[in-house]
Amino acid sequence: MGVMANVIGANIRRFREARGWSQPRLAREVCRLARVDGEPVSRQEISRYETGRRTPREWLPFVAEALGVGVEQLRTPAARSGAPLRLPSLAGPDDEQPAASIRQLSRQLVFLDNQMHGLPIADIAVRSFRAVHRRLGAGGYERTQEREVRAAAAELAEIAGWALFNEGKFEASRRFNQEALLLARLAHDRSVELITLQNMGMVAGWTGRAGEELAIARCVLEESALSPRVEAMFRGREAQGLAGAGCVRESTRVFDRARSLLQDGAPDDEPHWAWWVTEQEIDRQHGRVLHGSGRWREAIPVLRNAMAAEAQVVGYQRVASVMLLDCLLDARAWREAQEEVEGLLPAIGELSSAVTLRILKDVTGRASALSLPAGLRDGLHHLEATLEQDPYGL
């Protein structure tokens, strides 16, 4: 085994595991991108690559593209501690694999979005997409690359749309979602189309358009068969649309159906972006519906389940804590509310989700209208004061 084979193999495994993919999943993606029939690259072949027993050679560009990285990244030993981090170039004329560069940036943005209670990524996502969008419009990519670039750009626009939603910029989010949907359809990328439609339904629901949210979810569910996790995602969207339309009992049944779809392990062919669709996520959504409809006693156990230890950590997960605190105040469960306040205080300075912060501001603003124990009242005032602090203060 040569040194280069070991380096490439180690990098293939590292990037594959970072995406949460199995070896069979990577093999299928390589064959799909290479547009070949059968399975000339199998799970066993991927295993040989990763152990250094064989070098991909002619398959290396397709392996890199599947993993969303450049060929040189697979050939380069993992950076040592202290090496500077670099963002990929999106507009450089010398970029031989623009789609891979765009996908690499998207992966980095998703990683940052789920660190430290959600780092703000909307600005860099928007700026990056604009650079790609301008170059696409000007015909700046090789014709043979355009389809894959559109698919990668669609995913980047989808990430920007999500980030703008999370920062409370709903109209901008809607625009970027529409652009993502157009690019995904032009590239015939059903996977990105699905996650974008989920985002569009989410924005509709949060802006008081429950009928639109329900219509989007049902259109997807009725159109074609979906993998269990993707169906669960749209069942959650359907349930929220039903609740917004006043069909509370039917909404609960649909949430239960979404949970049942997640009982078994996810198959290998789930989209790489579906990692966040868990039972805890469905509980967060169900808890939000119960909280928003004033059914706070029912919401409390559901929101507690949403906060249970889970394998997948998302940057916005504190929203469940905030809604739970509000429900506990309504239930006059002072001791438990105090515990939630104490849990939120250390994290409040790191929260960047405007959606979460708006709900928390409404909750803390209620303190003066309630007859509370002194400790709880002081804790809520402390939370409120922290919300008003300069975010750039030390």
Tens digits of per-residue pLDDT, 340-354?
999 888 888 778 888
Mean pLDDT, rounded, for 212-234: 95
Say which range, 80-84, 312-316, 381-385, has the weakest mean pLDDT.
80-84
Q: How many percent of the chain have pLDDT more than 90?
A: 48
Give which of 88, 179, 75 is closest to 126, Cα–Cα.
179
Query: Nearest CA to 362 among 377, 384, 342?
Result: 384
Q: What is each CA distance from 158 to 9, 10, 117, 213, 312, in whole angstroms?
A: 31, 30, 20, 17, 20
348 closest CA partner among 321, 306, 387, 381: 387
DSSP H helical ranges for the chain: 3-19, 23-34, 43-50, 60-67, 71-75, 98-113, 122-137, 146-166, 170-186, 190-206, 210-223, 228-244, 248-261, 279-292, 296-306, 318-330, 334-344, 354-365, 374-388
CA 36 from chain centre, in angstroms, equals 31
Residue 9 scores a pLDDT above 90:
no
The tens digit of pLDDT for each residue in 69-120 reads 888 888 887 654 344 445 555 655 555 678 888 888 898 898 888 776 678 8
Condensed to tens digits (0 to 9), the pLDDT of residues 265-282 reads 656 668 888 888 999 999
Higher-pLDDT residue of 60 and 393 is 60
DSSP conformational letter for 199 = H
Tell whether the model's pLDDT for residue 238 goes beyond 90. Answer: yes
Distance, in Å, from the CA atom of 196 to the CA atom of 157, rounded to the nearest integer, reads 9
The predicted model scores a pTM of 0.77
Poorest-pLDDT segment among 10-14, 131-135, 167-171, 281-285: 10-14
- Neighbouring CB atoms inside 10 A of 112's CB total 17
Give yes or no for residue 127 having a pLDDT over 80: yes
Task: Give the C-alpha separation, 68 to 241, whole Å.
Answer: 34
Mean pLDDT of the chain: 86
Q: Phi/psi at 97 (nearest 5 deg)?
A: -130, 70
Reported as a single tens digit per residue, the pLDDT across 148-196 is 999 999 999 999 999 999 999 999 999 999 999 999 999 999 999 999 9
Report d(CA 167, CA 276) in Å as an integer. 19
- The predicted pLDDT at position 254 comes to 98
Q: Measure the CA–CA gap between 152 and 154, rounded to whole angstroms.
A: 5
- In Å, how far are 51, 111, 114, 143, 325 from 313, measured between CA atoms? 30, 11, 7, 39, 20
Q: What is the mean pLDDT of residues 309-330?
A: 82
